[in-house]
Amino acid sequence: MASEHALLSADGLCKNFVSGDSVVHALRDVSFEIYPGEFIVVLGPSGSGKSTMLNIIGGIEGPSAGTVKYDGQDLSAMNSTELCTYRRKHVGFVFQFYNLMPGLSAYENVELAAELSTDPLDAKALIEKVGLAERAAHFPSEMSGGQQQRVAIARALAKNPDILLCDEPTGALDSTTGNEILRLLCDFNREYKKTVILITHNRDIACIADRIFYFKDGSLERITVNADVDQTRERFF
């Protein structure tokens, strides 16, 4: 992939938080490149810097030092309006706790996201893709956790982002339902050529990734390549 243009890159990324008289180093000199259509799993224990990195990539937080670039553009150089445009056009978020609009149906949650995009995917088709055509008119309170997460994924994809950022998307689900969500993410990764970055503390999930980033104590310790990802995905599912 060295000859391919990186979609995302970080160089010397640091993030510090002040807590009383002490400084917490959430990220320490992190550098990487991520390419279009890759499925990246970010592994590490709680407090290792995974979510902080995801928030910086998503334009939610800024770094204390270093740079993150999207398609060659430095996020730190963007003003608030430009960052808002970046998040709206290029980034989809999937969190552990769904965050659906409770007063909207499954379809309406997805349609709302599509309406905010200049180049959306079809909301009805996405609801069908995630297997909820018969539940499209149901409200979040009428759906299981797995169904709500399917809606959340469809909603994230509705605005047709380049990057899907997933923060422990199976953390609140049982293993069977969690694997269904992971299969869905893999299918969308391959079908729509979306770059997926999924953070987790579950090492079993690593086999579905093209590459695995291992974090510990704010540092990116190593990156491994899964050369047989199609075969390992088949065995996993």
Question: 3-class SS at 3?
Answer: coil
pLDDT tier at 43 (50, 70, 90 boundaries)?
very high
According to DSSP, the β-strands at 39-43 and 195-200 are parallel
The beta strands (E) that lie in the chain are given as 8-19, 22-34, 39-43, 65-70, 73-74, 91-94, 163-167, 195-200, 211-216, 219-225
Beta bridge partners of 214: 43, 222
pLDDT tier at 98 (50, 70, 90 boundaries)?
confident
According to DSSP, the β-strands at 39-43 and 65-70 are unpaired
Q: What separation in angstroms does the CA of 178 have from each of 25, 57, 73, 148, 194?
A: 31, 24, 35, 12, 20
Each residue's pLDDT tens digit, 71-91: 999 999 999 999 999 999 999
Q: Reply yes or no on whether the pLDDT at 229 is more than 80.
A: yes
- DSSP-derived secondary structure for 180-232: HHHHHHHHHHHHH--EEEEEES-GGGGGG-SEEEEEETTEEEEEEE-TTHHHH
Q: Reply yes or no on whether the pLDDT at 2 is more than 60.
A: no
Each residue's pLDDT tens digit, 171-190: 888 899 899 999 999 999 99
Q: What pLDDT, on the 0 to 100 scale, is given for residue 97?
A: 85
Q: Reply yes or no on whether the pLDDT at 3 is more than 80.
A: no
- Bigger pLDDT: 3 or 7? 7
Q: What pLDDT, on the 0 to 100 scale, is given for residue 1?
A: 55
Q: What separation in angstroms does the CA of 19 have from each of 16, 22, 23, 26, 223?
A: 10, 5, 6, 12, 30
According to DSSP, the β-strands at 211-216 and 219-225 are antiparallel
Alpha carbons 202 and 179: distance in angstroms, whole number: 12
pLDDT tier at 224 (50, 70, 90 boundaries)?
very high
What is the average pLDDT score of the chain?
93
Task: Give the residue carrying structure tokens 């499954």.
Answer: 106
Each residue's pLDDT tens digit, 45-81: 999 999 999 999 999 999 999 999 999 999 999 999 9
Each residue's pLDDT tens digit, 140-168: 999 999 999 999 999 999 999 999 999 99
Q: What pLDDT, on the 0 to 100 scale, is given for residue 113?
A: 93
Domains and CATH numbers, the chain: 38-62+87-236 (3.40.50.300)
For residues 150-166, b (16+ Cβ closer than 10 Å) or e, as one string?
A: bbbbbbbbbbbbbbbbb
Q: What pLDDT, on the 0 to 100 scale, is given for residue 213?
A: 98
pLDDT tier at 118 (50, 70, 90 boundaries)?
confident
